[in-house]
Chain A
């Protein structure tokens, strides 16, 4: 069964550094998402992406964050000048379309900011 893959599984970065998290969505899916889950808290929506542009973003997704689809298969989340509070699990998801279509999640990247 096709799945969403994320790399790396764990990223350790010094505070203030930039980090790029990578995702390969399911191949026939058109909508891509990033969520984060701070330890012990619920999963939170960050951003959705369709047709090479941001479709929707939450208040968490400020100027520190950016997303890109650099080629036909990868979808990336860049965090500039990381802060301690950026430490979390970051999940990528994809869906065939929006609305009623279910979102399928990857296994996440654990980001640890030191």
Chain B
């Protein structure tokens, strides 16, 4: 069973601060996806990382895939209240179709 552990589970910071959330596993993932989920809605794709060591940027969000493809991080610069939400990482192992999801990080950015 592949597990994705996300940390921290909850994070509340002030607007303008920087933050990093983590997604870790003992399994190697062929790809890893980050989603954001609002209450009552489905996960919305933010980014997919595939190559070990890969870094992708999406405006103020920076995503990194670990060299060994077992972990990933999401860094937000100058957080804004609009960044508030549940951030999920999900990985695909080898030839599997189904994604394994973490429990998510609940992020609150206070004005």
Q: Are B98 and A56 in contact (CB under 8 A)?
A: yes
Q: Are B103 and A104 in contact (CB under 8 A)?
A: no
Q: Are B31 and A100 in contact (CB under 8 A)?
A: yes
Q: How far is the CA of A42 from the CA of B31 in the complex (A)?
A: 19
Query: CB of B42 within 8 A of chain A?
Result: yes
Q: Are A42 and B102 in contact (CB under 8 A)?
A: yes
Chain A residue contacts of B48, Cβ below 8 A? 100-102
Chain A residue contacts of B102, Cβ below 8 A? 42
Contact with B along A14-41 (1 / 0, CB 8 A): 0000000000000000010101000001
The closest CB in chain B to the CB of A102 belongs to B48
Q: Do A33 and B44 form a contact, CB below 8 Å, given A99-B30, A99-B92, A100-B50?
A: no
Q: Are B101 and A42 in contact (CB under 8 A)?
A: yes
Interface size on B, residues (CB 8 A): 25
- Nearest chain B CB to A43's CB is how many angstroms away? 4
Q: Are B43 and A56 in contact (CB under 8 A)?
A: no
The closest CB in chain B to the CB of A31 belongs to B97
Q: How far is the CA of A56 from the CA of B92 in the complex (A)?
A: 13
Chain B residue contacts of A65, Cβ below 8 A? none
Q: List 22 A-B contacts (CB under 8 A).
A: A4-B42, A31-B97, A41-B103, A42-B88, A42-B104, A43-B88, A43-B90, A45-B99, A46-B98, A48-B98, A55-B97, A99-B31, A99-B95, A100-B30, A100-B31, A100-B92, A101-B48, A103-B33, A103-B45, A104-B45, A107-B40, A110-B40
Q: Which residues of A contact B (CB under 8 A)?
A: 4, 6, 31, 33, 35, 41-46, 48, 55-56, 58, 91, 98-108, 110
Closest 7 CB pairs of A and B: A45-B98, A48-B97, A105-B42, A43-B101, A56-B97, A107-B42, A102-B48
